Amino acid sequence: MNVLAIETSAMFCSIALFKDEQIFFKQDTNKSQHGKVILGLIDELLEQSELCLEQLDKILISYGPGSFTGLRVGCGVAQSFNLIHRIKCFGISSLKVLASTAYQNELKGKVVTLISLGMGEFAASKFDDKESLLDDKTEEFILQNEDLASFLNEHKDYHVITSSENTDMMNILKSKNFSFIQPEAKSMFEFITISDVASPQGDSFIVPNYLSNEDHWK
Does the pLDDT at position 201 exceed 50? Answer: no
Same domain flag for 165 and 57:
no
For the chain, what is the domain count?
2
Same domain flag for 154 and 190:
no
Same domain flag for 121 and 160:
yes
Same domain flag for 84 and 192:
yes
Same domain flag for 84 and 122:
no
- Classify residue 62 as exposed, middle or buried by CB count within 10 Å of its CB (0-12, 13-18, 19+): buried
Average pLDDT of every residue of the chain? 90
Does the pLDDT at position 199 exceed 70? Answer: no
Span 124-152, pLDDT tens digits: 999 999 999 988 788 999 999 999 999 99
- Classify residue 33 as exposed, middle or buried by CB count within 10 Å of its CB (0-12, 13-18, 19+): middle
Give the list of residues 6+ apart from residue 56 with CB closer than 8 angstroms, or none: 2, 3, 4, 81, 85, 87
Of 49-58, 75-84, 117-126, 204-213, least confident by mean pLDDT is 204-213
Same domain flag for 102 and 75:
no
| Residue 197's pLDDT band (cuts 50, 70, 90) | low
Number of C-alpha atoms within 13 angstroms, CB side, residue 52? 2
Residue-range definition of the domain harbouring residue 61: 2-94+183-216
Does the pLDDT at position 32 exceed 80? Answer: yes
Give the span between the Cα atoms of 25 and 18, in whole angstroms.
9
Same domain flag for 89 and 125:
no
Span 58-113, pLDDT tens digits: 999 999 999 999 999 999 999 999 999 999 999 999 999 999 999 999 999 999 99
Same domain flag for 21 and 90:
yes
Q: Which of 2, 4, 3, 183 is nearest to 77 (CA)?
A: 4
Mutual angle of helices 68-85 and 34-49, in 10-degree steps: 40
Q: What percent of the chain has pLDDT over 70?
A: 91
Same domain flag for 15 and 90:
yes
**pLDDT value of position 216:** 44
Where residue 161 sits, what CATH number does that domain have?
3.30.420.200
Encode 36-101 in three state secondary structure: HHHHHHHHHHHHHHCCCHHHCCEEEEECCCCCHHHHHHHHHHHHHHHHHHCCEEEEECHHHHHHHH
Same domain flag for 118 and 144:
yes
**pLDDT value of position 213:** 59
Q: Which residue has the higher pLDDT, 120 or 38?
A: 38
Same domain flag for 7 and 87:
yes
Same domain flag for 90 and 192:
yes
Q: Which residue has the higher pLDDT, 73 or 216?
A: 73
Q: Which residue has the higher pLDDT, 202 or 110?
A: 110
